[in-house]
């Protein structure tokens, strides 16, 4: 049986979600192009992300900084020195693999965060050989992931390895522009570049990918408080602390504050709500926060919990993001390197703000959505996307392309688009095939204009998931469609069609 990866890859290519970059020249490993449908879904996800996370505080804003940044930024941040992966090279053919991932694949255990020496020992003890030529392997070494670049003739720079640094180097200016208030949130939705040693598994490990990251600058003396904590204190987090592995547990936010500060816990709750309520990830079995041990944590984090989603293709959990308490690691380092004072004067005292980072890999979230929403039975295949994350709000079809139904449909298309809906219009083929096509690309509602429409100004709406249809009055369609897209069941929105 084809793996889920193969299946998603095949569907992605056939329906226009994504495919390997530079394909007509044989493809470029680690780079993918989003096609028309994938772009629409990604744009929807990003829109929901912005609306949810920028909505958390009136002092949170999006910025769009440059993707190429001065080499000093990355020297200061520690990426030039520490942003490395463990690698192992074949003595015979020279093939290089990421050592921990190689072991993970061969031995089905997690090796992230263990030392180079230990990795070398495991390779020796299990007599692991090159996956390409079966040659013997060298000692484990490291390779830096940053992409160096020369700007103009001689200015050394890097493609950014994370969006976060662009927020840090812009912090002071934004703080001044935004009336010197904390907390201040700077969000960036954009590209990050990492020269991954073994890019694989489609869009989940690429060399160019999209991140959605929110950097929250705050007063470290206020880490044990959040003004809205009351609203989440009884909310139950799904979390796997280090000492509980491999079991996740449910824990209220209030209980969680015994382990991590309140400011951090409040944002964990909001992140989980985004996944469960907006992305509609099924609760217990599919979502968890995973606490990282001291050895596993990123070099800049004091507290580090990954956000994970369970996927069949992985045979386990995929890291789709993280909640990172980066302290003053970054602003402090930029202060030292740039010789610019990064401290602020707030609440009667001078200090360098600390940073809580909410970090999301957009492509991994899209992949998780595709895999979790894909359904197939004898009759049809469907992407059961949440209605807010579908590529279009509705499909619109004249039952036949004659008798004035085409014209009426065109009129309705303009009416719906003016009302703010995205509409996929299709006037050819049997109506059954057109419905199937909407199911295949995950459009939640299909509206059909038929001969009755010309008599009484009504249309039918079909629900992708239940395949139920109701008849509604055109004048009420924007309101009805709005309710449907917000989650109202189709049966309650019109006269059912038997
Ligand atoms: N600013 C913090 C940061 O960059 P990270 O854990 O290195 O943290 C954040 O990256 C997220 O970006 C990850 O949780 C993952 O979802 C995504 N990501 C990281 N490397 C990736 C890659 N090579 N391809 C696709 N997504 C990746």
Classify strands 68-70 and 155-159 as parallel, antiparallel or unpaired. Answer: antiparallel
Residue 397 CB-density burial (10 A; 0-12 exposed, 13-18 middle, 19+ buried): buried
Ligand 1 touching residue 321 (CB < 6 A): yes
| Cα 79 to ligand 1 centroid, rounded to whole Å | 14
Q: Whose CA is nearest to atom 12 of ligand 1?
A: 361
Please state the domain count of the chain. Answer: 3
Residue in the block written with tokens 């602003």: 331
- Same-domain pairing of 341 and 472: no
Ligand 1 touching residue 209 (CB < 6 A): yes
Return all residues near 220 (Cβ < 8 A) that are at least 6 apart: 327, 328, 351, 353, 354
Cα separation, 210 vs 219, in Å, equals 29
Q: Which atom of ligand 1 is nearest to the CA of 306?
A: 14
Which helix (H) or strand (E) segment holds residue 142: the answer is strand 141-144
Cα separation, 42 vs 362, in Å, equals 8
Neighbours of 439 (CB within 10 A): 22
Q: Cβ(334)–Cβ(342) under 8 Å?
A: yes
- Same-domain pairing of 349 and 254: yes
| Cα 360 to ligand 1 centroid, rounded to whole Å | 7
Q: Whose CA is nearest to atom 24 of ligand 1?
A: 205
Per-residue tens of pLDDT for the chain, all 498 residues: 456 788 899 999 999 999 999 999 999 999 999 999 999 999 999 999 999 999 999 999 999 999 999 999 999 999 999 899 999 999 999 999 999 888 988 888 878 778 899 999 999 999 999 999 999 999 999 999 999 999 999 999 999 999 999 999 999 999 999 999 999 999 999 999 999 998 988 999 999 999 999 999 999 999 999 999 999 999 999 999 999 999 999 999 999 999 999 999 999 999 999 999 999 998 877 999 999 999 889 889 999 999 999 998 888 999 999 999 999 999 999 999 999 999 999 999 999 999 999 999 999 999 999 999 999 999 999 999 999 999 999 999 999 999 999 999 999 999 999 999 999 999 999 999 999 999 999 999 999 999 999 999 999 999 999 999 999 999 999 999 999 999 999 999 999 997
Ligand 1 touching residue 463 (CB < 6 A): no
Q: Looking at 341, 372, 403, which one is the last position of a domain?
A: 372
First to last CA, the chain: 39
Ligand 1 touching residue 361 (CB < 6 A): yes
Residue 218 domain-assigned (yes or no): yes
- Same-domain pairing of 327 and 431: no
Cα separation, 409 vs 404, in Å, equals 9
- Same-domain pairing of 352 and 416: no
Q: Whose CA is nearest to atom 3 of ligand 1?
A: 162
Enclosing domain of residue 44: 36-73+159-372
- Same-domain pairing of 199 and 316: yes
Q: Cβ(483)–Cβ(493) under 8 Å?
A: yes
Residue 329 domain-assigned (yes or no): yes
Residue 241 domain-assigned (yes or no): yes
The candidate with the shortest Cα–Cα distance to 425, out of 451, 403, 452, 405, is: 405
pTM of the entire predicted model: 0.94
- Same-domain pairing of 99 and 237: no
Q: Looking at 325, 341, 372, which one is the last position of a domain?
A: 372
Q: Cβ(388)–Cβ(49) under 8 Å?
A: no
Three-state DSSP class for residue 320: strand
Return all residues near 327 (Cβ < 8 A) that are at least 6 apart: 220, 302, 354, 355
Which helix (H) or strand (E) segment holds residue 34: the answer is strand 32-34
Signed CA dihedral, 299, 301, 304, 306: sign only: negative
* DSSP assignment letter at 324: E
Residue in the block written with tokens 């740039």: 338
| Cα 351 to ligand 1 centroid, rounded to whole Å | 30
Residue 14 domain-assigned (yes or no): no
| Cα 210 to ligand 1 centroid, rounded to whole Å | 9
| Cα 94 to ligand 1 centroid, rounded to whole Å | 27
Question: What is the pLDDT, as a whole number, of residue 313?
Answer: 87
Question: What is the pLDDT, as a whole number, of residue 1?
Answer: 43
Residue 18 domain-assigned (yes or no): no
- Same-domain pairing of 187 and 254: yes
Q: How many residues in total does the chain contain? A: 498
Question: What is the pLDDT, as a whole number, of residue 2?
Answer: 59
Lookup: tokens for 468: 């139920």
Ligand 1 touching residue 364 (CB < 6 A): yes
* DSSP assignment letter at 494: S
- Same-domain pairing of 230 and 261: yes
Residue 451 CB-density burial (10 A; 0-12 exposed, 13-18 middle, 19+ buried): exposed
Residue 112 domain-assigned (yes or no): yes
Ligand 1 touching residue 100 (CB < 6 A): no
Ligand 1 touching residue 208 (CB < 6 A): no
Return all residues near 476 (Cβ < 8 A) that are at least 6 apart: none
Question: What is the pLDDT, as a whole number, of residue 285?
Answer: 78
Torsion of CA 397, 434, 364, 96, to 10 degrees: -140
Residue 9 domain-assigned (yes or no): no
Ligand 1 touching residue 290 (CB < 6 A): no
Residue in the block written with tokens 């139950």: 236
Ligand 1 touching residue 162 (CB < 6 A): yes
Residue 244 domain-assigned (yes or no): yes
- Same-domain pairing of 59 and 187: yes
Q: Looking at 372, 404, 420, which one is the last position of a domain?
A: 372
| Cα 282 to ligand 1 centroid, rounded to whole Å | 22
Lookup: tokens for 446: 């299909």
Among 67, 158, 192, 326, name the best residue to mutate to test ligand 1's pocket (greatest count of ligand atoms within 8 A of Cβ).
192
Ligand 1 touching residue 205 (CB < 6 A): yes
Cα separation, 287 vs 237, in Å, equals 10
Ligand 1 touching residue 297 (CB < 6 A): no
Residue in the block written with tokens 């570049």: 193
Q: What is the CATH number of the domain that holds 135?
A: 3.30.40.230
Ligand 1 touching residue 201 (CB < 6 A): no
| Cα 368 to ligand 1 centroid, rounded to whole Å | 14
């Amino acid at each position: 049986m084809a793996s889920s990866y193969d299946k998603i890859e095949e569907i992605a290519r056939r329906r226009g979600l994504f495919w390997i970059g530079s394909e007509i020249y044989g493809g470029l490993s680690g780079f993918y192009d989003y096609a028309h449908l994938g772009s629409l879904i990604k744009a929807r996800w990003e829109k929901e992300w912005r609306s949810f996370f920028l909505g958390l505080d009136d002092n949170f804003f999006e910025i769009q900084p440059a993707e190429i940044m001065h080499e000093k930024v990355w020297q200061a941040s520690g990426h030039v020195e520490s942003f490395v992966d463990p690698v192992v090279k074949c003595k015979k053919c020279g093939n290089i693999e990421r050592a921990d991932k190689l072991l993970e694949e061969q031995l089905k255990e997690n090796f992230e965060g263990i030392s180079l020496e230990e990795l070398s020992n495991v390779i020796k003890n299990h007599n692991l050989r090159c996956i390409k030529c079966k040659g013997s392997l060298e000692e484990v070494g490291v390779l830096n992931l940053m992409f160096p670049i020369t700007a103009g003739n001689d200015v050394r720079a890097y493609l950014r390895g994370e969006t976060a640094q662009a927020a840090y180097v812009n912090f002071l200016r934004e703080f001044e522009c935004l009336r010197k208030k904390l907390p201040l949130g700077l969000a960036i939705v954009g590209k990050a570049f990492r020269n991954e040693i073994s890019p694989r598994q489609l869009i989940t490990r690429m060399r160019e990918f999209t991140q959605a990251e929110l950097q929250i600058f705050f007063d470290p003396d206020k880490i044990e408080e959040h003004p809205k904590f009351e609203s989440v204190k009884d909310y139950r987090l799904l979390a796997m602390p280090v000492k509980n592995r491999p079991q996740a547990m449910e824990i209220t936010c209030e209980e969680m504050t015994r382990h991590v500060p309140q400011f951090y816990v409040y944002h964990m709750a909001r992140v989980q709500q985004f996944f469960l309520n907006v992305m509609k990830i099924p609760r217990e079995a599919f979502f968890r926060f995973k606490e990282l041990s001291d050895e596993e944590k990123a070099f800049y984090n004091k507290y580090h919990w990954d956000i994970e989603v369970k996927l069949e293709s992985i045979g386990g959990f995929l890291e789709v993001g993280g909640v990172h308490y980066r302290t003053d690691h970054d602003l402090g380092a930029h202060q030292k390197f740039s010789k610019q004072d990064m401290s602020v004067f707030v609440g009667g005292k001078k200090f360098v703000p600390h940073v809580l980072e909410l970090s999301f890999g957009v492509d991994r979230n899209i992949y998780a959505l595709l895999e979790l929403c894909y359904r197939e039975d004898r009759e049809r295949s469907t992407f059961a996307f949440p209605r807010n994350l579908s590529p279009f709000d509705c499909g619109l079809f004249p039952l036949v392309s004659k008798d004035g139904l085409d014209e009426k449909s065109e009129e309705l298309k303009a009416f719906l688009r003016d009302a703010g809906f995205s509409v996929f219009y299709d006037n050819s083929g049997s109506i059954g095939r057109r419905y199937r096509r909407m199911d295949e690309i995950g459009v939640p509602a299909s509206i059909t204009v038929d001969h009755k429409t010309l008599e009484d100004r009504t249309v039918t709406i079909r629900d992708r998931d239940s395949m139920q249809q109701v008849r509604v009055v055109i004048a009420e369609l924007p309101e009805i469609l709005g309710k449907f897209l917000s989650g109202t069941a189709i049966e309650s929105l019109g006269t059912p069609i038997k």
